[in-house]
Each structure stands twice: as C-alpha cells, then as structure tokens.
Chain A
C-alpha cells in the first residue's frame, strides 16, 4: 500500500495532450460515413477532370475532338453507331471511330460537344459563386465587424456629390460633373490629410452638423440585402442577360451579382457572435490590426456555413446557366453548352431522344453531386448534428 501511494499516479502526462487526430483527419472520419456525400465528391472530382481534359482536347485550331465540325450526311445518328466511312473525308472521321453519344441535327459529334460544354458549366459555377462569395464575405464582414459604427452626414454628402458628378459626366455635361468630382475628391483628400497628421481637435461649432451620425453601416448593408432580395432572381438575371451582349462572362458576373445575399447574412451572423468572443478581445488587446483580426482570427471560424452555401450555390448556378442556355440567352453559338445542346435537341425529342437525355442526365448528375457533397459538408461541419448521429 505504502509503495503504491508513494509512486506518483500516472495521469498520462508522458503522452502529449493534444488530440491524436488532426482536424482534417477528424473531418474525413466523419465525412466518410456519409456514403451519398462521398459519391458526390467522387463525381465532382471526375467532372472536374473531364471538364479540364475536355477543354484541352476541344480547343485550339486543330482540336482532337472537333465540336463544331458539321457533317450534314451523318445527321441524327444514334449513339454507338459507326460512321459511313465512304461518305466522309479523312479529316471528318470521328477521333474514336464511332459516334459515342450520337450526332445532332447538323451531324456534329455530341460527345465532343458535351466535352466542350462541361468546361462552360464548371467555370460558370465556380466563377459565379466565387464572385458572390467574395462580395458576400466583404459585405457580411463589414456589417458584422464594423456594423455598429455610423456613417457621418458629411460622408453621405460627399458620396452624393461624387455620384452626381459621375452621372453628369455620363450624360455629356462634363464641365459641371468635373467640378463636382474635383470638389468631392478634394474633401476626401482633406479628411485623409487630417487623419494623417492626426489633428484630433474638436471641430468648430458651425461644422458640427456635418458630423451628425446618420445610419449605422449594419443597417445600410442589411437594407441593401433586403432590396436585392425583392427582385425575382431568375427574371432579373434573364432581363440583364437579354439586354447585355451575349457572352459567357456576362452570365457569370450577373449570376454572381444576384446571389451574394445569403453569404452576407451568414458571415454577418457569424461575425456578430465571434466579435464578442474572448480570443478576438485578446487579439484586439494585443494591438493586432483590424485586417488581421478579420482574416486571420475570425474568418477561419466563420467559413463553414459559407463553404456549404457555396457548394450548393455552384449547383444552382449550373442549373441557372443551363436554363438560360435553354431559353436561348446563353453562350453564343457555335460554342456548345449542355443547356443549348438540350435546347437544340428538343425539336427531335421523339426521333433523337439522346439529344435530350445525354445533356439532361449530365446536368442532373453533376448538380446532384454538388448538392449531396454540400449537404454532407453541412452535416460534418455542424457540431450540433455531429453529436446527435
């Protein structure tokens, strides 16, 4: 007994106390249990590879698979059919020797067109969501972190001055517009100068009105979100895309600019709660600057819901692009997208069903993969659900 009590009890101090698994391993262990999400991830990776090789193989002046090569004598051939070699010139023979997914009404190889379209779907999804996430993080971060500050009356006036000046320049009244612009910039320059030489004296009485607080930044941004949510989104996208010249970049930008509101709300909510936490107070007490607090300390903790909504946002963007292409507002022909292959094929729905089913199923599978992967991420990243399962 005495011997036992003399030896110090083993509290396991010899072993390191840190968790044995890293965060990533932990995440992977949880994620692996969700079979649907794993399937989504696999399809997502496959889709990425296919889109990338598709871009390499179908672009350039002499592509391996030519998606725009017209062979009128070979139109509406069924999938897996052999080309009539005797009617084709040597450069018109399909690369694989057969029409893997058939041909369309102009005799173009659907397989090459699908390859070309994959890259469009991928980039539209990623770029549009990238734009919306960047705007959303920026707006949400400002609203959540600096939200309690108020905008001063003079700042509002300068903004009005500058925008009025820009409008006048826009409407061919360059003289007055330039005057207003110069005035506005002069005031901003004056403010910056004052801050630089750090004159912190109380402003004279007659200027007090200019320093009145108007509305808080948080109110401003959240009202902006409310305004954006009032627009019927698909209708708005359709209007803007129809009015602008047809181009893939316009579609990406428009989809991105009309879908940032959800991210803004998530980031703002996370920032509002994170701002009150001790580690942020500690960082602030140490004199860490705002930029570093926001991006190094708070953002990694707020990124989970953004990631989930971005993954699902990619799925939505791909669907939106397909819908626009279907209505004829997508990427201008002859460039192929999955939406316009389907749209072209709808006239032959009973004679050539593969023109509808091949792109339709591809869109379905890719969108489904993104949705399942996103939902799997949500389950793993949500600690509340983790305990329950």
Chain B
C-alpha cells in the first residue's frame, strides 16, 4: 500500500511537470503577444510596451519565463496582467461563487440518478426503462446553451421570476423570505442545467452496473431461496453494484474548478468558468495558466483518491 502511494505520488509529480510545460508552451507559442492586444490604443506607446514587457519578464527567453512564472505561482505572488490583482485571491473569490452551483449540482446528480437507474434495471425492457433510456439520450444530446434558453423562457414566462445573475438587483432591501426565494431561483436553474448531463450519464451507468450484478449467480440463488424481491434487489444486488461508484467520489473533484464556461456566461454567474473565459479573451496568461494548473492538480488528486478508495472498498484489488 505504502509503496503504491509512493510510486503513484512520484508519477503524478512527473505528470504535473509535463502538464505545466505543455500548457506554457501552448500559450506562448501561439501567434500574438499580450502586449499587442490593443495596438491602436494611444496610451500604449512603445516605451510603455517595453516597460510592460520588462515588468512581466516578457523580454526574457522562454525557459526563464517558465521558471519565473512557476516560482511566482508557488510563492503565491502571481498577479493578473489585467488588473494587477493576486491570481490566487481572484480564483478563490470566484471559487466561492461557483461552489453553491457545484454543491447543488452534485447533490441533484447523485440523488436523482440512482433511483432512476435502479428502477430501469429492475424493470428492464419495460415502458419505464425504455422511456428513461430515451430521455437520458435526449439529455446527453441537448446542447447546454439551447436547454438553458428553453428553461429561461419557461421559468420567466410561467413563474415571472428573474433568473440571470446571482441575485436580483436591489433585492437586498426586501424581507428575508423573498431574498431567500430569489437566491434559490437564481441558483436552481444553472445547477439543474449543470446536472442534466451528469444525471443522464450516471443513471445509465447505474443501470448497467445493476444489470451486471442482477445476472450473477448469487442473485439467482437469493431469488430461488424465495427471498422477497426487495431484499434481493436492495440487499444482495445493489450493495455489490455500488462498488464502482465509491471510486467515482474521487472523480467529482475536478468539477470543483471546472465550472461550465457556457452556463456561467449565459446566466452572468461570476464563477470560475466565466473568469477563465474573460481571461482568455484578454490574453491574461497568468490566470489561464493558473486555472489550468490547479485543475490538472485536482484531476490527479481525484484519480489518486479514487485508486485508494477502490483498494479500500474492494479487497480483491492489490496493486
């Protein structure tokens, strides 16, 4: 166990170094420079551009820029080129905004997809199963932005509540129940949107896992013994079908920072995805690289946790 942890730790360090190099190269080898973003602006005289380039080490060779950047990142000194604010602080603020969306979305995904999937598996081939299958394909295939507009039209014309942004402008003077309702409405639709694809995929996965286990000999034995169907389904089958899902807890982790660019732009939600999008538009390299780096670290930590969980849950796995 310890040797596995040690080995995979070293492996992940090497991976993250390569990720940092590749993302740095991708960004810096692309044509154009951040100092050329706005060449027509009269404030950008050649001297200013030169000072700008010196300030951010843009006049150094590439490998020195790389070292400077990651040195700054690890000492927490990276600043955004756009507004000179600390990047880590910016990310943290946006992360707090994205967090409620992420939490609600995850809860919706995990609580809805299990009942749907289990029921489909138990009544395989029935009307319920077939319509659930069709609907999950529908939800996988619908473009997120299109679904967002359908939901906006529906909610705005039916319930007459504003949904864009994090809260209605100027509502903080109102009484607290209406403020709370307002926050919930604003939170609900983006999180439902974020969860739809997850619900569809996860419920299909639950269904196939359940079917796999229901075909096993011990389930047939349990049925043959004359146990009540509920006991067979929920005690014998479900508990064994759950094993792969324990490991998926680790894989949720990257979603913490991956806040959807499209959904956050549509709903003007000031989250991480939107910040990354704005950074791309402004060629704010420190922000782009930091978001990329943090999310790569989260992916690696997530796979690590899921490996460990798998070993804990399933004693047959020995690495």
Q: A residues engaging B (CB < 8 A)?
A: 36, 171, 223, 226-227, 229-232, 234-236, 238-240, 242-245, 315, 319, 322-323, 326-327, 342-343, 346, 349-350, 353, 356, 359-360, 363-364, 367-368, 371-372, 375, 388
Question: A242 — nearest CB in chain B belongs to which residue?
Answer: B280
How long is the Cα–Cα vector from A245 to B123 in the complex, in angstroms?
52
Asked if B163 is an interface residue, CB under 8 A from chain A, the answer is no
Of the residues B31, B61, B134, B146, contact of A342 by C-beta under 8 Å: B146
B137 CB–A CB distance under 8 Å: yes
Indicate whether A327 sits within 8 Å of B265 (C-beta atoms), given known contacts A227-B15, A230-B16, A315-B141.
yes
Chain B, Cβ-Cβ closest to A323:
B262
The stretch of B21-29, B74-82, B85-93, B171-179 that contacts the partner chain: B21-29
Which chain B positions have C-beta within 8 A of A232? Answer: 254, 257-258, 292, 295-296, 299
A and B contact pairs by CB, cutoff 8 A, 10 listed: A223-B15, A230-B19, A235-B276, A242-B280, A319-B143, A343-B145, A349-B152, A349-B153, A363-B146, A371-B137
In contact, B261 and A238 (Cβ under 8 angstroms): yes
Contact A239 B258 (CB under 8 A): no
Partner of A243, one of B27, B141, B145, B152: B27
* Distance to closest chain A CB from B82 (angstroms): 15
Interface of B is mostly: helix
Q: Which residues of B does A touch, CB under 8 Å?
A: 11, 14-16, 18-19, 22-23, 26-27, 30-32, 61-62, 133-134, 137-138, 140-146, 149-150, 152-153, 215, 254, 257-258, 261-262, 265, 273, 276-277, 280-281, 283, 288, 291-292, 295-296, 299-300
Are B281 and A364 touching (Cβ within 8 A)?
A: no
B16 cross-chain contacts in A, Cβ below 8 A: 230
A326 touches B26 (CB 8 A): no
Nearest CB in chain A: distance from B138 CB, A: 6
On whether the beta carbons of A356 and B143 are closer than 8 Å, the reply is: no
The answer to whether B299 touches A229, judged by C-beta atoms less than 8 angstroms apart, is yes
Contact in complex: A171, B61 (CB < 8 Å): yes
Contact B296 A231 (CB under 8 A): yes
Report whether A360 and B27 are in contact in the complex, using a CB–CB cutoff of 8 Å: no
Name the residue among A243, A326, A342, A356 with the largest chain B CB count within 10 angstroms.
A243
Known: A232-B292, A235-B292, A375-B137. A243 touches B143 (CB 8 A): no
Residue of A227, A229, A368 touching B141 (CB-CB under 8 A): A368
Q: Considering only CB atoms, which chain B residue lies closest to A243 in the complex?
A: B30
Q: How far is the CA of A197 from the CA of B281 in the complex (A)?
A: 57
How far, in angstroms, from A353 to B300 measured CA to CA in the complex? 43
Taking the closest CB of chain A, its distance from the CB of B265, in whole angstroms, is: 7
| A236 CB contacts on chain B under 8 angstroms | 26, 292
State whether B288 touches A323 (Cβ < 8 A). Answer: no
Q: Are A323 and B26 in contact (CB under 8 A)?
A: no
Bound Cα distance A69, B276 (Å): 36
The distance in angstroms between the C-alpha atoms of A357 and B300, with both chains bound, is 40
| Inter-chain contacts of B288 with A (CB < 8 A) | 239
CB <8 Å contact, B61 and A326: no
Known contacts A230-B296, A242-B281; is A360 also within 8 Å of B258 by CB?
no
Closest Cβ–Cβ distance, residue B209 to chain A (whole Å):
14
Which of A171, A239, A356 has the most B CB atoms < 10 Å from its CB?
A239
When the two chains form their complex, are residues B296 and A245 in contact, meaning their CB atoms are under 8 A apart?
no
Known contacts A315-B141, A368-B141; A349 and B149 CB within 8 A of each other = yes
State whether A230 touches B137 (Cβ < 8 A). Answer: no
Report how far A388 CA is from B125 CA in the complex, Å: 12
| Cβ distance A173 to chain B, nearest Cβ, rounded Å | 10
Q: Are A323 and B143 in contact (CB under 8 A)?
A: yes
User: In the complex, A77→B72 CA distance in Å?
Assistant: 56
| Set A171, A238, A240, A371: member contacting B140, Cβ < 8 A | A371
Question: What is the bound-complex CA distance between A36 and B137, given in angstroms?
Answer: 10
- Shortest Cβ distance from B302 into chain A, in angstroms? 10
- Residues A231 and B265 in contact, CB atoms below 8 Å apart: no
Give complex CA distance A279, B259 in Å: 49
Contacts A226-B15, A388-B215 hold; do A367 and B22 have CB atoms under 8 A apart? no
In the A-B complex, list the 7 residue pairs whose CB atoms are closest, starting with the nearest: A360-B146, A243-B30, A368-B141, A367-B141, A230-B296, A232-B295, A242-B280
Contact check, A327 vs B262: say whether CB atoms are below 8 A apart.
Answer: yes
A231 to chain B, nearest CB (A): 7
Let me know if A367 and B31 touch, CB within 8 A.
no
Residues of B within 8 A of A319 (CB): 141, 143
Q: How far is the CA of A200 from the CA of B259 in the complex (A)?
A: 58
A337 to B207, CA, bound (A): 36
The smallest C-beta distance from B81 to any residue of chain A, in angstroms, reads 15
Q: How far is the CB of A19 from chain B (nearest CB, A)?
A: 27
Q: Which of A234, A240, A349 contacts B261 (CB 8 A)?
A: A234
* Min CB gap B91→A, angstroms: 13
Cβ of B296: which chain A residues have Cβ within 8 Å of it? 230-232
Instruction: Evaluate whether A327 and B27 lie within 8 angstroms (CB atoms) in the complex, with A242-B280, A349-B149 already known.
Output: no
Residue from B141, B280, B299 within 8 A of A239 (CB atoms): B280
Smallest distance from the beta carbon of A236 to chain B beta carbons, Å?
Answer: 8
Q: Are A368 and B138 in contact (CB under 8 A)?
A: yes
From A36, A171, A229, A239, B27 is in contact (CB under 8 Å) with: A239
Contact among A36, A322, A349, A356 with B134 in the assembled complex (CB-CB below 8 Å) = A36
Cβ–Cβ contact B19 & A243, under 8 A: no
Say which residue of B146, B152, B299 sits within 8 Å of A364 (CB atoms).
B146
Min CB distance B278 to A, Å, is: 11
Q: Please report the C-alpha to C-alpha distance between residue A326 and residue B146 in the assembled complex, in whole angstroms.
A: 10
Contacts of B273 in A (CB 8 A): 235
Set B30, B262, B292: member contacting A231, Cβ < 8 A: B292
Contact at B144–A323, with CB atoms within 8 Å? yes
* A343 CB contacts on chain B under 8 angstroms: 145
15 further contact pairs, Cβ within 8 A, besides A231-B23, A364-B141: A230-B15, A232-B254, A232-B299, A236-B292, A239-B26, A240-B26, A244-B31, A323-B145, A323-B262, A327-B265, A349-B152, A363-B143, A363-B146, A367-B141, A368-B137
Distance A226 CA – B280 CA, assembled complex (angstroms): 25
Cα–Cα, bound, A24→B16 (Å) = 46
